[in-house]
Chains A and B, each alone.
Chain A
Amino acid sequence: MMEMLQTIIAAVLILGGLFFFATATIGLLRFPDFFSRLHATGKGDTLAVTLSLLGLAVYEGFSLTGIKILVIAVFMFLAQPTATHAISRAGIRCKLKPWMKGDERK
């Protein structure tokens, strides 16, 4: 019973992660310029990684490996927005213009 509940919760969390990975990928491919693409991947990937790692940690259960997976989840939750911020600041400093309505897609 407990085993089955664990598996179901893990499957739901991993499917949620896969959904957000898919939306982030679609955003990265379809949005018109660099900053809006970062808007898609920065938030979508962070949420997707956290959800997937939480699901895998639930599936593993309480052990050293499970705790290591949680450590990776916390690290990614801090590191992914930092990396996104660094790239977007570099873009601003390199004078990339944000896309306005009516511009052509780059």
Chain B
Amino acid sequence: MNTFLLTVGIALCVLAILVLYRVVFGPGVFNRIAAISAIGTKTLIILLIFGFFYGRVEMFIDISLVYALLNFIGCVAAAKYLEMERER
């Protein structure tokens, strides 16, 4: 099971690096925000998987929970900011 978890973690890292293309070259700020949100979602799972891999999941789970909250709040805050910016 450890090998399986390591494989899934590495595959998720590769997917996150692929999404980084959209962050760097994506036309406009909205594509970038969507891609950063997708990367944050993948990072959440990667953190948990490496917690299981190192056998210390009760420490990594709190980091993962905070990461989920920050990802959501950052995404909504950026969207609200862009909306307000446009209306002024």
Contacts and interface: CB of A to CB of B under 8 A. Distances in A.
Interface of A: 7, 11, 14-15, 17-18, 21-22, 24-25, 28-29, 34, 37-38, 41, 45, 48-49, 52-53, 56, 59-60, 64-65, 68-69, 71-72, 75-76, 79-80, 82-84, 86-87, 89-91, 93-94, 96, 106
B20 to A, nearest CB: 10
B45 A49 contact: yes
A6 to B, nearest CB: 10
Nearest to A17: B45
Contacts of A91: 30
B61 A65 contact: yes
B12 interface: yes
A66 to B, nearest CB: 9
Interface of B: 1, 4-5, 8, 11-12, 15, 18-19, 21-22, 27-28, 30-31, 33-35, 37-38, 41-42, 44-45, 48-49, 52, 57-58, 61, 64-65, 68-69, 71-72, 75-76, 78-80, 82-83, 86-87
A45 B75 CA distance: 15
